[in-house]
Amino acid sequence: MKEFSDINKNLEILAEECAEVIQIKSKIIRFGFLDRHPRTGIVNQMALHQEIGDVLAMVDILIYHKILSQEHLVLAKEAKLKKLKEWYNHGS
């Protein structure tokens, strides 16, 4: 992964991949998990896997270059799960 050393480029790609996750999320809400892309035929659920996998690849690159820390990510994930347990059903 050392060939992916341009941190600004990596952050830009991460942002693009996050936007693609948002886009497929919207398509799933509009058309459902099992709907297929009209041109590619890819099922939305598989597209979601692909886009989240792309985000995870960029996270791995940022960990490799010490921009992110695996330990800090675990702590952040645990904190999010704690907040979700408290607030997930609030207001519904």
Predicted TM-score (pTM) of this structure: 0.92
At residue 91, does pLDDT exceed 90? no
Question: What is the distance between the alpha carbons of residues 46 and 37, in angstroms, rounded to a whole number?
Answer: 11
- Number of structural domains, the chain? 1
Query: The domain containing residue 46 runs over which residues?
Result: 7-87
Q: What is the CATH number of the domain that holds 17?
A: 1.10.287
Taking CA atoms, 74 is separated from 48, 66, 68, 78, 80, in Å, by 22, 15, 11, 6, 10
Confidence band, pLDDT 50/70/90 cuts, at residue 20 = very high
Q: In 5-43, which residue ranges form alpha helices assigned H by DSSP?
A: 7-31
Which residues, in sequence order, are CB contacts of 21 under 8 Å at separation 6+? 48, 51, 52, 55
Given a cut of 80, whether residue 92 has pLDDT beyond it is: no
Closest to 62 in 3D by CA, of 76, 52, 73: 73
Q: Is residue 18 part of a domain?
A: yes
43, amino acid identity: V
What pLDDT is stored for residue 45 in this prediction?
98
The answer to whether residue 56 is domain-embedded is: yes
State the average pLDDT for the chain.
96
